Amino acid sequence: MTPTVIAQISDPHLKPPGVLAYGAADTAAALRRAVDLLNRLDPRPQAVVITGDLVDEGASSSYDVLRGILVGLAMPFFMVPGNHDHKDRLRAAFPDHGYLEGFIEPGGRRAMCFCIEEFSLRLIGIDTVIPGEHGGGLNAGRLQWLDRALAERPSAPTLVFMHHPPFASGIGHMDGEPFIRREELAGIIRRHPQVERIACGHIHRAFSRRFGGTVATVAPGIGMQLDLDLRPEAPSVFVLEPAGFLLHVWTDLWGEPTLLTHVGTIPEQPGRYRGPYPFFDVVSPT
Ligand SMILES: [Fe+2]
């Protein structure tokens, strides 16, 4: 089969025009580089999913910057909200992205949950934002929505995208707010084995683990990376390592349908890294 390639980027944290994030990170330039690199990939991804913290402070002018950059993507893109996002302003900036309507919960809040059915991989986005909170979670309505959505197409290989990982990261300052109702989410995922991957953001650093009987991955950041400091007392700081992205590839290499997740980096200048060099002089020393 022809592989289905879905790119994931996360946490661009855009600011209003001309403003550096936290006085240091040119997040708009980083996102432009990401768009340029994704457009040049061969094979080109069929779609891009951006897993939240699209902007940093929820300002409309930041969403205008976001739109101005993302419209440069050569393929469709889909967004889930993060804790730094303002959902009404996000919707206002992307009126052509109907899936952002999600559904309205009792009490009038919007849950930006959606299914995208047009690819060989089914894409589901779930909204883990708790208003006013840095940490994330789900409630009964969103869990039911997910359970029903997964039950609709039990044989469709599925990627579930969400901003907050439903597990701790090992980076101390990010683990103070346990994900609400994570055990129930794990139970739902376990009941729907067509979920090939749970793909998250929020941590600004790539890592993976088992969750609910599937594989969960966390994408690196676009705007900035959290320092790889696994001490419980790790301070909340970021470093300007190269940004990164994930490529989720649904393929049947070696006759086995499977979802591969590759990690790529986005250099600050194209061609910054030396290479490529041939890599085949030694096959297997005997
Ligand atoms: Fe973030």
In a structure prediction context, what are the per-residue pLDDT tens digits for the chain, which is 286 residues long? 899 999 999 999 999 999 999 999 999 999 999 999 999 999 999 999 999 999 999 999 999 999 999 999 999 999 999 999 999 999 999 999 999 999 999 999 999 999 999 999 999 999 999 999 999 999 999 999 999 999 999 999 999 999 999 999 999 999 999 999 999 999 999 999 999 999 999 999 999 999 999 999 999 999 899 999 999 898 999 999 999 999 999 999 999 999 999 999 998 877 778 888 888 777 888 8
Between CA 103 and CA 39 the distance in angstroms is 32
- Two structure tokens written together for 188: 């739902």
280 C-alpha vs ligand 1 centroid, how far in Å? 40
115 C-alpha vs ligand 1 centroid, how far in Å? 23
255 C-alpha vs ligand 1 centroid, how far in Å? 38
- List the shell of residues around ion ligand 1, using CB closer than 5 Å: 11, 53
Between CA 14 and CA 274 the distance in angstroms is 30
φ, ψ dihedrals at 162, nearest 5°? -155, 150
- Two structure tokens written together for 93: 């900036």
Structural domains in the chain? 4-266 (3.60.21.10)
**Consecutive H or E run containing 191:** helix 182-191
The CA angle 75-81-83, to the nearest 5 degrees, is 145
82 C-alpha vs ligand 1 centroid, how far in Å? 7
253 C-alpha vs ligand 1 centroid, how far in Å? 34
